[in-house]
Amino acid sequence: MSVAVLACVVASLAVAAPWARPPGRGTGPRPRGRGPHPSASGEPRARAARGRSAVVGIDSALLLDVVDAALAAGAPIPRALQVVGELLGGATGGALVRAGGALVLGASWSAAWAGSPPAARDLADGLEPAWTSGVAPGPALRARAARVRAERRSRTRAAAATLGVHLVLPLGLCFLPAFVLLGLVPLVLSLASGLLG
């Protein structure tokens, strides 16, 4: 699934989710003689899926893009955080849900994000000017996502360069005996036989 499609899905959920379910649906006693409630069998699967996403983790730049799409669709910051966090699951998703709930209840920005994992902290730093000063969050989130990707590319290039330096000595030790045996030894033997003959 592309980033654009994922962002559109999250944005539509962020705006429409509170009103998507008709009132009273899923509440009240369950009729007798029927199977388990429809949501009962889906809940363990949802928990398992959230557990798998916690193991895999999420790219912080992608998280910034998805929250930016939810905000661009018109969701307020707390609602966008809660919807994205519920879909994401794991430690990062839980931190987003907690931060959104704390902001709704009037907590300060730093208190709402206390104890968050690094991916959530990166999002918090990108959203803080929008919450505290009222500036548009989109440009700041997009700039931060671009910076995260640029830093990752520079780290990858540095690691590749370091790997090349570290491989010079082992490769030299492997190829030097072959060069001596296949290149120098026959040359020395031919010169020696020419001098002796």
**More confident of the two residues 51 and 113:** 113
97 pLDDT above the threshold of 90: yes
pLDDT, tens digit (0-9, with 9 covering 90-100), for 175-185: 878 877 888 88
Euclidean distance between CA atoms 190 and 159, whole angstroms: 45
51 pLDDT above the threshold of 70: no
Task: Share the mean pLDDT of the chain.
Answer: 75
The predicted pLDDT at position 162 comes to: 84
> Phi/psi class of residue 124: alpha, beta or left (left: φ > 0; alpha: ψ in -120 to 50)?
alpha
Which of 89-93, 104-108, 187-191 shows the highest mean pLDDT?
104-108
pLDDT, tens digit (0-9, with 9 covering 90-100), for 53-79: 444 467 888 898 999 999 998 889 999
Residue that is written with structure tokens 């969050």 in the block: 137
State pTM to two decimals: 0.57
pLDDT, tens digit (0-9, with 9 covering 90-100), for 125-143: 888 988 988 888 888 889 9
Find the mean pLDDT for residues 93-100: 91
pLDDT grade for 171, boundaries at 50, 70 and 90? confident
